[in-house]
Amino acid sequence: MSIDAATARKVAHLARISVAEDELEQLTRELDGILGWVEQLQQVDVEGVEPMTSVTPMSLPRREDAVTDGGIRDKVLANAPDAREGFFAVPKVVE
Amino acid sequence: MTELSYREPEPKIIAGVKGDWEIVIGMEVHAQVQAKSKLFSGASTEFGAEPNSNVSLVDAAMPGMLPVINAFCVEQAVRTGLGLKAQINLRSVFDRKNYFYPDLPQGYQISQYKHPVVGEGEVLVDLAPGVARKVRIERIHLEQDAGKSVHDMDPEMSFVDLNRTGCALMEIVSMPDIRGPEEAAEYVRKLRQIMRYLGTCDGNMQEGSLRADVNVSVRPVGSTEFGTRCEIKNMNSMRFIQQAIDYEARRQIANLEDGGTVVQETRLYDPNKGETRSMRSKEEAHDYRYFPDPDLLPLEIEQALVDRVADSLPELPDDKKARLVGAYGITEYDASVLVAERANADFFEEVARGRDGKQAANWVINELFGRLNKEGLRISESPVSAAQLGSIIDLIGSGDISGKIAKDLFEIVYTEGGDPAGIVEARGMRQVTDTGAIEAAVDEVIAANADKAEQARAKPSMAGWFVGQVMKATGGKANPQAVQALVKAKLGVE
């Protein structure tokens, strides 16, 4: 697998990470290296081996259906750059 | 158990300029899970709360917060799966679906991609008595809902409310088995009905508890290949679903017949203009880069849980309908009306128990539902109880009142309440079955209208006029059959 500058640019945009044009070449090389390494890993024969999802033998913890949280609007909005009338206020996004 | 048999409906055909076309539809229905708290946080799911008051720091995606799954939401998904005769996957996996939008603070939606909790199932979509389409379900997965943006409070800003953020949704994905706009709406209606029976989704479309994305494609009649599809997003009304599909199918046909192609894209239905338009901004966002959520282990369900839920399932609409037809001898149409809501069917059964089923269905559907609909009341708000309605029917059966008087009695019970038998007694509504008294009334009417009696002897159809007169003279209390027999005998007509 190899990655080109256009793909790197697209991936950065999808992740909303700003990458300057002159940094793109190095980023492309690094991503390519990572993917190459993963490709190498994929050559290992794992036929019949269960995928490991956790290093501890535990299952997904579940909670009861009860209202135990919320009612903390001031805390929720505390870090918002702009909040009005109990809402987050953001630049207009309308389809 | 009685099984009703069905035949498949004719697909809707749209005549193009160059030929006939068939519509192929698959749907993704998003149903909000009925639960007190959210899928991964303990904040309330209550609708209509003050903005951002039902939000925890998990929902707001504050750094370091971890999701913990709501066991009841899992159970609800299993229950829905079983209600749709679907396979339950004892092991499923949560993934992150990555995209950026102001009402999604995490920057990803926790969803299930390759390993959903529910696999293949089916829904029987009723279209008319004896006509139904079997729609296969591909999968149901659990996922988080997004928040809500309000765009009309400020000219430059959108306002975001995260109350809905993180509420549990079931995405129910169908196979492309639907063949027309009406079928699509009926499919949603049937899903809604089943989930309301199960208590897994309240089905409130105005509040957004049930929303549908519709995949529409067209193909020439006779073709077995699928055309390129467009996805119409986020509709919350049966009427809009039908209008949007109809418009979209015609748009695609016009395009293809002009030698053009259909571009696979996401579209939005504008109910004001009655048309769909492209949501170009969504195109790039389709690259969701799913990967397993590292905060969540795979969801492993015990078979014991599935068994327990299976044992607690209520009788579902199809079974109930078949049983009502078999046990009470009512028509399939009447049974469909009665099973639309579980409470309606329960009410009917209470009235019908130990009585004539057809008569009970008539009274419940035509008189009671008719009256309730007029006033926009639900069965739970009915001023007439099942016992009262049953008692009215008993009074007809015993010959105490005629069918006509029964309607007056129903009106009194509806508006004033009270014991029907007591009302009949107190207001002298008992029908006159005493032949002597009726005979006297018949004689009187004939004597007073000698000329008409003469005509009636020549033209027997005029006897009806005398029956009416006698009924009027007795205040409607005479037994109509007795009156009719006596009038005919006295006039000497058949």
**Total Cβ atoms within 10 A of residue B437:** 14
Radius of gyration in angstroms for the set of CA atoms belonging to chain B, rounded to a whole number: 30
Q: Between B342-352 and B332-339, two packed helices, what is the crossing angle to 10 degrees? A: 120
Residue B494 has pLDDT above 70, yes or no: no
- The reply to whether residue B296 touches residue A60, judged by beta carbons under 8 angstroms, is yes
pLDDT above 90 (res B451): no
Measured in Å, how far apart are chain B's first and last C-alpha atoms? 47
Instruction: Judge whether A54 is closer than 8 Å to chain B, CB to CB.
Output: yes
Whether residue B167 lies within 8 A of chain A, CB to CB, comes out as no
To which H or E segment does residue B388 belong? helix B386-397
B285 — pLDDT class (breaks 50, 70, 90): low
pLDDT of residue A1: 53
CA proximity to A69, closest of B66, B56, B38, B34: B56
**Surface of B (127-146) touching A: CB under 8 A:** none
Q: What is the distance in angstroms between the Cα of A8 and the nearest Cα belonging to chain B?
A: 14
Cβ of A92 and B157 within 8 Å? yes
Q: Residue type at A66?
A: A
From B74, B116, B67, B141, select the one nearest B293 (Cα to Cα).
B67
> How does the average pLDDT of chain A come out, rounded?
91
Buried b (16+ CB within 10 A) or exposed e, B103-119: bbbbebbbbbbebbbbb
What 8-state DSSP symbol labels residue B296?
S
Domain B435-491 has CATH 1.10.10: yes
Which of B42, B160, B298 comes nearest A90 by C-beta? B160
- Mean pLDDT on B466-478: 83
Q: What is the pLDDT of residues B106-155, one digit of tens each?
A: 999 999 999 999 999 999 999 998 999 999 999 999 999 999 999 988 89
Provide the strand spans (E) within B287-432: 291-292, 299-300
What is the spatial distance between Cα B115 and Cα B231, in angstroms, rounded to a whole number?
A: 23
Residue A95 has a pLDDT of 59
Domain ranges of chain A: 5-42
Residue B69 to residue A72, Cβ atoms within 8 A: no
Strand segments (E) across B263-306:
266-270, 275-278, 291-292, 299-300
Interface test with A, best of B36, B56, B110, B269 (most A CBs within 10 A): B56
Model pLDDT for residues B39-70, shown as the tens digit of each residue: 999 999 999 999 999 999 999 999 999 999 99
Fold of A5-42: Histone, subunit A (1.10.20)
Query: What's the pLDDT at B449?
Result: 86
| Per-window interface: B 95-124 vs A, CB < 8 A | 98, 100-102
Which residue's structure tokens are 């993704």?
B28
Say if the Cβ atoms of B42 and A77 lie within 8 Å: no
Give phi and psi for A47, each to the nearest 5. Answer: -50, 125
> Which tokens in the block code for residue B395?
């009074």
pLDDT of residue B2: 57
For residue B436, pLDDT beyond 90: no
The model's pLDDT over B207-240, given as tens digits with 9 standing for 90+, comes to 999 999 999 999 999 999 999 999 999 999 999 9
How far apart, in whole angstroms, are the C-alpha atoms of residue B48 and residue B54?
A: 10
- The residues with which B109 forms a beta bridge, in sequence order, are B97
- Nearest residue, CB atoms, A59 vs list B101, B153, B300: B300
**Separation of alpha carbons B110 and A60, rounded Å:** 15
- Interface ipTM > 0.95: no
Contact B51 A85 (CB under 8 A): yes
Q: Is B378 on the interface with A (CB under 8 A)?
A: no
Lowest average pLDDT, out of A49-53, A84-88, B345-349, B367-371, goes to A49-53
Domain boundaries, chain B: 13-310, 313-426, 435-491
Answer yes or no: is pLDDT of B282 > 70. Answer: no
Q: What is the model's pLDDT at position A64?
A: 98
Distance, in Å, from the CA atom of B160 to the CA atom of B149, rounded to the nearest integer, reads: 5
Angstrom distance (rounded) from CA B73 to CA B167 = 10
Reported as a pLDDT band with limits 50, 70 and 90, residue A90 is very high
A91 contacts in B (CB within 8 Å)? 156-158
pTM of the model: 0.87
